[in-house]
Amino acid sequence: MYDMLNLARQPIMNCEDTVLGYEFFYRDAQGKCSIDDARHATSCVLVNLLNQIGIASSFGDTLAFINTDGPLLLTDIIRTLPKEKIIFELTSAMRHTAKIHEAIRYYHSLGYRFALDNASFHPDYLQAFGPLFPYIEFAKFDVTQTDNEQFGYFPNPFGKMALIAYKIEFYEILEAYQQFGFHYFQGFYFAKPHLITQGRIDPKYAEVLSLFSLFQVENSVEEIYNAFLRESALSLQLIQFLTSTHPEHIRGASSIKEMIERMGKNALSQWLLLIIYSKSGTMSMDKANQYSTFAQERVVSMLKLLHLASPSPSSKLIEDARLIALLSLLEEIMNIPLENTLDAINPSSDVKDALVNTSGLLGRVYAAVLKLEIGDTTTAALLLKTYGVYQDQLV
């Protein structure tokens, strides 16, 4: 189970069945909703969604509604996330402090979007959340917990927000809430939560902590990049994250190092902090799963064969070989079609040709690695014979 991630989603739609977005729910390794730490749950959802599954596969051109832990708003992590795509749901159990309220006002001024989860007409709720109402775009009401008569007799303080009724199970409930002015709905009447399951690829927790510590003192991009070289799983997560959130940082990038430089140290450190939060409190945090091990082995094999086929490869050739290994893994582990990856990144023609046509030195090396992974040393040697590599060198 450690090798698989689980994430549930449920659509939010209007009466014409047009999807506004999806609410995403935390699920543990067993696919259960067992939350001990709200910050951990929110971070897990974000890491699984943005670093592993990706926006294109999970919610595409719609919105993602995600329950947000109040203290997470006090970090700069939010600024690394796509403000036009994510609606941060403020739960009714959220702690109210001056700093959290100020953070919500600040992020709203930057264009980030918020919703009230389990909104209520209760006086205590209105007193606590009322100061935030000018910064809220959506209000979600649990129809099983709401006295709907209040919509007819109360002055409606939520009037400027788009109203969402959830836990809709019957048409009669849907019809009633339409009459109350609701335009969006969520519940079993439309669709049950769907469990998304796929192979997960995680870096070692200790390595992420070690890398994060580099940002606490002045270190060069070169030193940071060298830490990335030890964890191919982290590089894969970075590529997926940037593809989902900041495609401009990967378009035409020739290496992970260039992506790091474009992203910038502050954003990168906050991204690492999100990964750290997502792993806090979990078991077996340093256990290498099969997909992470496989990823590292492919990169190592690519570089080993490259040095056999070209005894003194240039630094560019080495970076191209590493990038080819990583991009090929996005399809095999994260289910991202190679064509989509190449469209998003637009790497050099040498990298494209190697991945698509297995042509040139890098293409032959890549093809040979794939053969070695299934134990076919004979064909691997034939592929590299032109470059003076023989079968006994591959055993």
Of 198, 232, 261, which marks where a domain is finished? 198
The total number of structural domains in the chain stands at: 2
- pLDDT category of residue 32 using cuts at 50, 70 and 90: low
Q: Is the pLDDT of residue 1 over 50?
A: no
Which percentage of the chain shows pLDDT scores above 90? 67
| Whether the Cβ atoms of residue 333 and residue 343 lie closer than 8 Å to each other | no
The predicted pLDDT at position 2 comes to: 57
Of 198, 224, 240, which marks where a domain is finished? 198
Together in a domain, 190 and 319: no
* CA distance to 251, 351, 361, per residue, from 354 (Å): 18, 5, 8
Q: Are strands 113-116 and 138-142 parallel, antiparallel or unpaired?
A: parallel
Together in a domain, 21 and 47: yes
**Which residues constitute the domain of residue 267?**
201-393
346 vs 324: CA distance, rounded Å: 12
Together in a domain, 233 and 357: yes
* Integer-rounded Cα radius of gyration of the chain: 24
- pLDDT category of residue 332 using cuts at 50, 70 and 90: confident
Q: CATH number of the domain that 63 lies in?
A: 3.20.20.450
Together in a domain, 125 and 252: no
Together in a domain, 135 and 20: yes
- pLDDT category of residue 234 using cuts at 50, 70 and 90: very high
Q: H helices of 246-359, where? A: 256-263, 265-279, 290-309, 315-334, 338-345, 349-357
- pLDDT category of residue 283 using cuts at 50, 70 and 90: very low
Q: CATH number of the domain that 386 lies in?
A: 1.10.3210.10
Q: Is the pLDDT of residue 284 over 60?
A: no
Together in a domain, 129 and 226: no
- pLDDT category of residue 258 using cuts at 50, 70 and 90: very high
Together in a domain, 263 and 151: no
Together in a domain, 187 and 214: no
Together in a domain, 135 and 224: no
Q: Is the pLDDT of residue 3 over 80?
A: no
Q: What would the mean pLDDT of 291-299 be, rounded to a whole number?
A: 89
Convert the pLDDT of each residue in 52-93 to its tens digit. 999 988 999 999 999 987 788 998 999 999 999 999 999 988
Query: Which DSSP string do the residues of 61-110 spell out, in sequence order?
Result: TSEEEEEE-GGGGGSSGGGGS-TTTEEEEE-TT----HHHHHHHHHHHHT
The packing angle between helices 205-213 and 265-279, to 10°, is 150
The predicted pLDDT at position 219 comes to: 78
Q: Is the pLDDT of residue 152 over 80?
A: no
Of 198, 233, 262, which marks where a domain is finished? 198
- Return mean pLDDT, the chain: 90
Together in a domain, 152 and 232: no
Together in a domain, 28 and 63: yes
Q: Is the pLDDT of residue 321 over 90?
A: yes
Together in a domain, 226 and 346: yes
Q: Is the pLDDT of residue 31 over 70?
A: no
Cα 304 to chain centroid distance, Å, stands at: 31
